[in-house]
Structure 1
């Protein structure tokens, strides 16, 4: 991993490339595997294919190889997640496992902030089921969420 962050290199390169994203996603799915809220959202017994898809997506998103799009086409994240109930509870569990995975990377603060900011935004964007009570609020992780429309 390089530091400090060189503006001419991609985020992917700055954090250590494929090896870093492999570690991140592996740690994330270790948490998902035993999570009673998230595990039912994965129809496959083996989480390996889901792990591979997330790893390839994140690598591409952050400036690495375009393997994800070459194999699967446009990411269309909301469309791909539409069949699954994703509410604030699922979002918070997802963010909890991702926070643990990001923490294990021990990235420089600026890179950690950039990565985490994306994950918070992406997780909120996947919410497709309103909570019982209308209105936004603060998640258990202290992330401000906008009111549901």
Structure 2
């Protein structure tokens, strides 16, 4: 494990990969966090100029895999985005396979809503279950990664300024 962690660090293109629901946080919390990282010379990947498609682009995957840390900003509509959920699957794969550090930030959402898919997260999954009724394993994977990520030590915006 130590050698894979060392080789991962040696190959890191970014210090931090930011994962977030753009509509919810891009122009407020995320932009301030990104600016703070830049002021400290922390090389950060943020998907400002990438076009969205049905699948995660290779550029995003490369940035994610080439980062030392992923910061996941969970917000009220995070779970309504299939893109965000697919990205979360990949982030946790990087954590589990390469030892990448993952830090969740719960921005105006309760960690237990993320963990248990209740509240606004439950609403999103009603839609996902309908849309993916022929692919229930996809929805189950999304539920599992939300639970796994929300069990990591992180920051809750209601307790931290």
- Alignment TM-score > 0.5, same fold: no
Bigger strand share = 2
TM-score, normalised to structure 2's length? 0.33
